[in-house]
Structure 1
Amino acid sequence: MRILIVAYDFPPTPSPQAIRWAYLSRELVLAGHEVHVLAPDVAGYGPGGLPELPDSISVHRVYPGPFMAFLSSRSRSKMSAQSTTSAAHSDPDRTMGLNWKGRWVERFKTLLAFLMFPDVRAEWLPWARKSLDELLRRLVPDVVVTSHEPANSIPLGLRAKAKGFRWVADLGDPILAPYTPFRWRSRARKLEAQVCRHADAITVTNSPVARLLQERHGIPSGELIVLPQGYDQSFEANVEDRIDVDLDKGLVELLYTGSFYHFRNPAHLLAAVRDSVGIRLNIASHTLPDEVRDAATAHPGKIRLLGFVPHRSVLELQRRCDLLINIANDDPVQVPGKVYEYLGSGVPILHIGGTRSDDAARLLVSSGAGWCVENAYPQLRERLTLLAQAKSGPVGIARGPCERSFDVTTYSWKALAAQLTDQALLAPVDARRFG
């Protein structure tokens, strides 16, 4: 089968959505499919470490628009200047904030976002439309897949569908989300409704998203395909992946990877780590809120900032730490992709916060892969104390925690690519009509 994927976020960008489609496209190729990707010509950030793509994947790069091209040129210049730094080493200075030039760029970017939907990345559309038309004519793909977020891929999926091509919309999260700016909410709802009317198949990352879209747009139950994030079942760390971080066998080494969005509150965790004996929190993140930086400065022996860590190095470090930390989002329809990545590591997980409708909490309970703790100081302090006692005991903290009845391979990228193929890419064209 010939597949054309439209993905604004794709390597070298190391975002969760880019990593998702790097793995899925790799597995689709390994399963024998022909894969083409339409993506912007932008530079990534950080020193690589992304999943290696098969040479047979054809990536068609498109001019991203003047502002994003400018940002990309700046990023490439910085990466060139830092080329002497090993790709497998972290750079804590990346967490220290922006200089005056960076702040000016961010202000201008914010200003442009007021004019463009969903944000400044929409400026690629004129060039992307032209390239899409040419690829549709030349390749005649069996199916076009659009990757959201960002939502600037959706008009291209609608365009392909209008030209008679089969269209699979990988929505992940809703287009109309709690963080959608008020000025764009009406437009986001309208675009989301268009997807539900015209796409031949829609994939979302978890069941709460599916239920939300069913209620919002009158979609029959079971018509949406739940395709979560996954883990790399074939990962094997090599020397280049190992990050230069020493772990103390006398401490319970916690690891948090990913972003600190405003809907993930780390305050109680930071306080509990600060006041617990035998605990250290390692944080691998591209950007940090002030409260995290301030806590690390005040308590350097308890909270260690690793800066940006490449994806494969993160996977290697996860397997060396004692416990992996996940902070639940305020909105239960959003499940951080790293939960599945954590699950594949075989290391116990501490899930902080969440509710009974939180898919991440349900997954942890059903798998036996760790503990769910309320995002409150007393409960976190108590759990950390128990972990420190277990670490110093004769058995230590249990590893390989999954229940025998739980099949973790269900969440491997290989299994998810097979599910995508069977339920969406190869499903009959008239099998889904969302109304």
Structure 2
Amino acid sequence: MKNVLIVTYFFPPFPAIGSVRLGGLAKYLPQYGWKPIVLTPKLPGKIDPVYHVVETPYEDRILRLERKLNISTKPTGKGGLKRLIFNPKGERRPYIGKMINIAGEVLSYPDGKRSWIPVAVKSAGKLFNTYPIEAMISSSRPESVHLIANQIKKEYHIPWIADFRDLWSNNPYYSYSRIRNSFEKKLERKTLSCADALSITSLPWAEDLATIHGNARVNVIHNGFDPENYPDSRLSKKFTLTYTGVLYDGKRDPELLFMAVKNLIDEGKIVKDDLAIRFYGPLQGWLEEKIGKYHLQDVAIQYGKVARQDAISKQLESQLLLLLNWNDPKERGTYTGKVYEYFAARRPILSIGAPKGVLTDLLDETGAGKYAFDGDGLKNIVLGYYQEFKQRGSVRYTGREERIDEYTHYKMAGKFAKILDQIT
């Protein structure tokens, strides 16, 4: 068994989507002859003993500065300079906003976690003195993990895979100035110049990454799911549609669904008492307003945040799982991590809003669900599923198991292992 160092900011039990990919990788790599040693900041909660995790001290430098100066950069904060930064309506004053944006670009270059770099590099040195480490994987975001790996690579000359869950300087949602982006693109190119291989989660993003780093080193390794986390469960007796996770007004927004359902109820095609639309995630005021707008208070309910295993249970008992996306061309290369969770639940997926791209192609490939781009299409899909529910008592799952199994964490780890074997 060969040791591989994994450098990551997110890892179970840290409650972030990035933890899922890294947890699955560390769990299944040993089945391919690689034993992971995970280097990470201090994690919240209890770590599964199946993992070998080395936690390091770390404090977010921006939060530390806010506390030191008694400043809050959020309208809800209680810092001593709140009145200077925000007007009575909670709006940031323009001149202060510009100053904060400039300071933020400097302090968070390349990201707000950069103060972890020297701590992590020092801790890695101790690991190299203790274990024979034969390769390394760094996984972003944040991008500071690649700067850590770059220093380790230069010091110990070990093969290195730089893994991306999102693009770096070419990220379509990059929010900083063009000047900073120019510097960051140079930093990305310099940092990854000594990486032996790059990996990323979708083909369009791989093509984008290759424009900076060349095709030869770039590999596509999708996210995935762990079927062991999904026990058998009984289905709900209602026509239940469930969404688990965070929603964003105008982006991950269920208004199109509310409109379709309201029309079907008004037309007498769906019995209101048969229906339950459930949201498990942070409570949203704007969502409650839209539920009221369509008079669906008895049907669509927000239950708030729940533990991950509870969210999985709610997925398993649902007739349909909602995948809410932003209909924007920038999303064409984006696989939401939620789709893999839904694969594991083995329940039909109803995707709303995603542009034609990798996500819709994935649903076609696997047969795991249907997607709608507009209200009429969505209305027809919902009605079809409802009619099946009334006839059979449940909605059948028609996913192609042989295709879906290609997206397990076991298969994902195998792709990483293949690259590790090639570069060592």
Per-residue deviation at 1:64? 2.9
Structure 2 distance, partners of 1:196, 1:123, is 19
Larger Rg: 2
Q: Which residue in 2 is equivalent to 1:227?
A: 221
Q: Percent identity?
A: 24
2:301 maps to 1:312: no
Q: Paired residue for 1:125?
A: 117
Using a 3 Å threshold, how does the CA distance of structure 1 residues 203 and 64 change in structure 2: closer, same or farther? same
Residue 61 (1) aligns with residue 56 (2): yes
**3-state SS in 1 of match to 2:240:** strand
Counterpart in the other structure of 1:13: 14
Q: Taking structure 1 as reference, are residues 334 and 56 closer, same or farther at Cα in structure 2, changes over 3 Å only?
A: closer
Hey, what does 1:134 align to over in structure 2?
A: 126
Distance 1:302 1:189, change over 3 A: farther
Who is 1:200 aligned against?
196
C-alpha distance in structure 2 between counterparts of 1:158 and 1:209, whole Å: 22
Tell me, in whole angstroms, the C-alpha distance in 1 between the residues paired with 2:44 and 2:414. 30
Aligned partner of 2:145 in structure 1 is: 153
Structure 2 residue aligned with 1:217: 212
TM-score between both structures, scaled by the size of structure 2: 0.80
The yes-or-no answer on 1:338 pairing with 2:338 is yes
1:293 aligns with 2:288: yes
The structural deviation recorded for 1:210 is 0.9
Paired residues of 2:235 and 2:319 also in contact (CA < 8 A): no
Q: Summarize the Cα distance change of 1:135–1:23 in structure 2 as closer, same or farther, 3 Å threshold.
A: same
Q: Is the 8 A contact 2:61 2:112 kept in 1?
A: no
Map 1:152-301 onto structure 2 (within 5 A).
152-163=144-155, 164-176=157-169, 177-183=171-177, 184-214=180-210, 216-217=211-212, 219-220=214-215, 223-237=217-231, 249-250=237-238, 252-261=239-248, 263-277=251-265, 278=272, 279-286=275-282, 288=284, 290-296=285-291, 299-301=296-298
1:387 maps to what in 2?
385
SS in 2 for 1:136: helix
1:144 Cα deviation after fit: 1.5
CA distance in 1, matches of 2:306, 2:64: 25
2:17 pairs with 1:25: no
CA distance in 2, matches of 1:134, 1:68: 28
CA contact (8 A) 1:36 1:60 kept: no
8 Å contact kept, 2:277–2:301: yes
Counterpart CA distance in 1 for 2:335 and 2:134 is 31
Pick from 316, 319, 323 the counterpart of residue 326 of structure 1: 323
Give the CA deviation at 1:162: 1.4
Structure 1 portions without partners, runs of 5+: 73-96, 430-435
Distance 2:43 2:24 in 1: 19
Higher relative contact order (CA 8 A, sep 6+): 1
1:364 Cα deviation after fit: 0.7
TM-score by structure 1 length?
0.78
Distance 2:298 2:75 in 1: 25
Asked if the contact 2:159–2:423 (Cα under 8 Å) also holds between the matched residues in 1, the reply is no
- Structure 1 contact 29–57 (Cα < 8 Å) conserved: no
Aligned partner letter, 2:387: Q
Question: Are the counterparts in 2 of residues 231 and 412 from structure 1 also a CA contact under 8 Å?
Answer: yes
Distance in 1 of aligned mates of 2:252 and 2:39: 32
The number of equivalent residue pairs is 384
Shift of 1:348: 0.5
Q: Quick one: which amino acid aligns to residue 133 of structure 1?
A: G
- Which segments of 5 or more consecutive residues in structure 2 lack a partner in the other structure? 68-73, 83-91, 266-271
Structure 2 CA distance for partners of 1:398 and 1:227, relative to 1, 3 Å? same
SS at the partner of 1:121?
Answer: coil
How large is the RMSD of aligned CA atoms in angstroms? 3.4
- The aligned amino acid for 1:281 is I
What SS is found at the alignment partner of 1:343?
A: helix
State the partner residue of 2:369: 370
Letter in 2 for 1:307: G
Q: Distance in 2 between matches of 1:11 and 1:69?
A: 24
